Amino acid sequence: MITREIVRTRGAYTIERVVDTGDGYEYFDVIDDWGNPVEKVPTLSEAEAVMNFFAED
């Protein structure tokens, strides 16, 4: 089973923590306001960098 949890939101972008509860594999998705994944990365710090790049004020 896959679980998703919203970690952060900035502007139109959201970071979701995605965990496969079967094997514990975790990654982070950066999602745009249309619900499309922008980037899939292994760490929260990388996801924040991607979100900050796309969500410039």
Q: How far apart are CA 31 and CA 48, in angstroms?
A: 12
Q: Could you tell me the pLDDT band of residue 57, with boundaries at 50, 70 and 90?
A: low
Check residue 55 and give its pLDDT.
83
52 contacts 10 by C-beta, under 8 angstroms: yes
Q: What are the tokens at 43?
A: 């760490």
Give pLDDT tens digits for 4-40. Answer: 999 999 989 999 999 999 999 999 999 999 999 999 9
DSSP string, 21-55: TTT--EEEEEE-TTS-EEEEESSHHHHHHHHHHHT
Check residue 16 and give its pLDDT.
98
pTM: 0.89
Check residue 56 and give its pLDDT.
75
Q: Where are the domains of the chain?
A: 2-54
Question: Which of helix, strand or coil describes residue 53?
Answer: helix
